[in-house]
Amino acid sequence: MDTREILRQFKEGMISIEEAEAQFARKPIEDLGYAKLDTHRQIRSGFPEVVYCSGKPDEYIVSIFRKLYEKNGEVMGTRATPHQYELVKAGLPDIQYDAVSRILYLEPERKSRIGSVAVCTAGTADIPVAEEAARTADFFGANVDRVFDVGVSGLHRLLAHAEEIQTANVVVAVAGMEGALASVIGGLVRNPVIAVPTSVGYGASMHGLSALLTMINSCANGVAVVNIDNGYGAGYMAAQINRLATEKDVK
């Protein structure tokens, strides 16, 4: 629960002053021995800690998810396997798993969402990385529009969605091979573009390095680049930008 939510609940009489004080007095770290959970991250940054599931031992992952859900009222993990899903589900029966993005998540049913984030892909093969970005931004409270398979080999497909991407607060452009989509979108919109190179492509794409170099060297203004296949990083940044843009509109 973030600071504003604690204060809102106290103001509306939903919690007592003692309960609010207890929330603020929580230890900033929950030490499990094998993991030190950052339970104050949402208070500092506005978003709770997320679990990177890949490589975590079976005996640790369930307790990490349960403890974060207990502290934050929601929990999300990236790069999870079906096996890890079954493990966590045994401890948190309501946990959801998206096999495309490989994201595990559990959140309030009536969670409100704000603003607009557009997530675009050059091809269908880029969708797993794009879905990681989209579901991350969605989890952190953004309205997300998906515009898939609009790469430069058929530019008319992208132009058909021009209005949709131009009105978004931020655009995530996901592309492999030569990675040109980010530059094209950067030349069409006035809002920030987060470019995500993917490891999709043939030999000379060098597992995403070619797309990464293209995006870093983009001649379009307003294009920032995250690491290869880092949909989570792009989705998190998009949620931050979207939140700031929406707060500006409200003021």
- The confidence score (pLDDT) of residue 29 equals 67
The stretches of 92-208 forming alpha helices (DSSP H) are 127-139, 155-159, 162-166, 181-186
Determine the average pLDDT of the residues in 153-174.
94
pLDDT at 251 over 60: no
**In the chain, how many domains are there?**
2
Same domain, 204 and 226: yes
| Structural domain range at position 224 | 114-250
Rounded Cα distance between 172 and 183, Å, is 12
- The pLDDT-based confidence of 110 (bands split at 50, 70, 90) is low
- The confidence score (pLDDT) of residue 37 equals 66
- The pLDDT-based confidence of 1 (bands split at 50, 70, 90) is low
Same domain, 121 and 93: no
Domain boundary (44, 74, 106) is at 106
pLDDT at 161 over 70: yes
- The confidence score (pLDDT) of residue 250 equals 53
Q: What is the pLDDT of residues 14-27, one digit of tens each?
A: 888 888 877 766 66
Which residues are CB-neighbours of 221 under 8 A, at least 6 positions away?
Answer: 186
Indicate the DSSP class of residue 25.
T
Domain boundary (106, 122, 155) is at 106
Same domain, 156 and 218: yes
pLDDT at 83 over 90: yes
Indicate the DSSP class of residue 205.
G
- The confidence score (pLDDT) of residue 184 equals 95
Same domain, 101 and 118: no
Same domain, 147 and 244: yes
Determine the average pLDDT of the residues in 158-180.
94
Determine the average pLDDT of the residues in 98-112.
88
Same domain, 155 and 186: yes
The DSSP annotation for 42-84 comes to HHHHSS---EE-TT--HHHHHHHHHHHHHHHS-EEEES--HHH
Same domain, 230 and 154: yes
pLDDT at 218 over 90: yes
Same domain, 119 and 241: yes
Q: Which of 104-118, 149-163, 220-234 has the highest mean pLDDT?
A: 220-234
- The pLDDT-based confidence of 183 (bands split at 50, 70, 90) is very high
Spatial contact of 122 and 147, defined as CB atoms under 8 Å apart: no
Same domain, 95 and 201: no
Same domain, 197 and 236: yes
pLDDT at 149 over 70: yes
Q: Which CATH number do you get for residue 203? A: 3.40.50.1970
pLDDT at 232 over 70: yes
- The pLDDT-based confidence of 41 (bands split at 50, 70, 90) is low
Calculate the dihedral angle through the C-alpha atoms of 68, 238, 96, 24, rounding to the nearest 10 degrees. 20
pLDDT at 91 over 70: yes
The 10 Å Cβ neighbour count of residue 246 is 18
Q: Which residue has the higher pLDDT, 111 or 150?
A: 150
Rounded Cα distance between 75 and 49, Å, is 8
pLDDT at 99 over 80: yes
| Cα-based distances in Å from 172 to 88, 117, 195, 223, 234 | 30, 8, 6, 10, 7
pTM of the model: 0.84
Same domain, 86 and 202: no
State how beta strands 51-52 and 75-78 pair: parallel
- The pLDDT-based confidence of 71 (bands split at 50, 70, 90) is confident
Same domain, 90 and 147: no
Spatial contact of 64 and 103, defined as CB atoms under 8 Å apart: no
Domain boundary (54, 74, 106) is at 106
